[in-house]
Amino acid sequence: GQEAPESIIDLTISSPTSFSLTKLSHKYLWLCFRELREKLQPEVAELIKQQRLNRLCEGTCFRKISTRRRQDKFWYCRLSPNHKVLHYGDVEEFLQGQIPHDSLPEKLAVADIKALITGKDCPHIKEKGALKQNKEVPELAFSVLYESDEYLNFIAPDKHEYCIWTDGLNALLGKEMTSDLTKSDMDTLVTMEIKLRLLDLENIQVPEVPPPIPKEPSNYDFVYDYTQHTQQQT
């Protein structure tokens, strides 16, 4: 029978047709796809890392946890463009837009961060009464330890923002990004890249720029108006 190439790279170079690909065993194809996934993962991980750091540079408004039933207080934190400093400070209300660095009075050098702590191990979650008033908070909580026993405590506004910040802080500390969001992004991006490379095997040209948007039709008579049809029946 046909001798199988040694790797997915050989398979790509030989540019086989769909018919010749079907001759290879399912097991071998699975091994090829696994090999390609492993080769793509470091590149995709770097892409995800840069996206997380860019989001930290944009900044986020966080809620302060309170053990008393008082009006919510907020603070804002963002990473400097050179990824060396966290700028932060209190704000009067929850903000959606970005706050300039010079408007945030406090600073924490990334080099001074000793560890990232998450969930119920965070000091502001361990405080008496915190969990009773904020049962949903532990899964959104994280803290950065700096100096000997100082903490910067966070409560993310939602799970997505929690993943963004814990991923970004882990990346700054040189550690692996382990959030559910990273796992999902990794799977999606690697799968997309594999599909694009399979298109290359068939010599299908993928345009670098999107095709022009066609002009609108002179009328929309071809569109079925369901509401009008229903009114006629009644």
Note the pLDDT tens digit of each residue in 127-140. 755 555 556 678 89
Instruction: Kindly tell me if the per-residue pLDDT of 160 is higher than 80.
Output: yes
Write down the pLDDT at residue 52. 95
Mean pLDDT of 42-66: 90
| SS3 (DSSP) at 191 | helix
Q: Which domains does the chain have, with CATH numbers?
A: 1-203 (2.30.29.30)
Mean pLDDT of 117-127: 83
Burial of 24: CB neighbours in 10 Å, binned 0-12, 13-18, 19+: middle
pLDDT classification of 94: cutoffs 50, 70, 90: low
pLDDT classification of 22: cutoffs 50, 70, 90: low
Q: Report the predicted TM-score, pTM, of the whole model to 2 decimal places.
A: 0.70
Which segment of 3-7, 66-70, 78-82, 172-176 scores lowest on mean pLDDT? 3-7
* Residue 71 to residue 116: CA distance in whole angstroms: 28
Instruction: Kindly tell me if the per-residue pLDDT of 147 is higher than 80.
Output: yes
Write down the pLDDT at residue 195. 84
Alpha helices in the chain (DSSP H): 8-14, 18-23, 26-58, 123-126, 130-133, 159-172, 180-201, 226-233
Note the pLDDT tens digit of each residue in 183-231. 999 999 999 888 887 776 666 676 778 888 888 877 777 655 555 555 5
Instruction: Kindly tell me if the per-residue pLDDT of 33 is higher than 50.
Output: yes
Closest-CA residue to 103 (of 85, 84, 89):
89
Write down the pLDDT at residue 79. 95
Instruction: Kindly tell me if the per-residue pLDDT of 13 is higher than 90.
Output: no
Mean pLDDT of 7-31: 58
- 168, HSE (Cβ side, Cα atoms, 13 Å): 28
Mean pLDDT of 142-148: 89
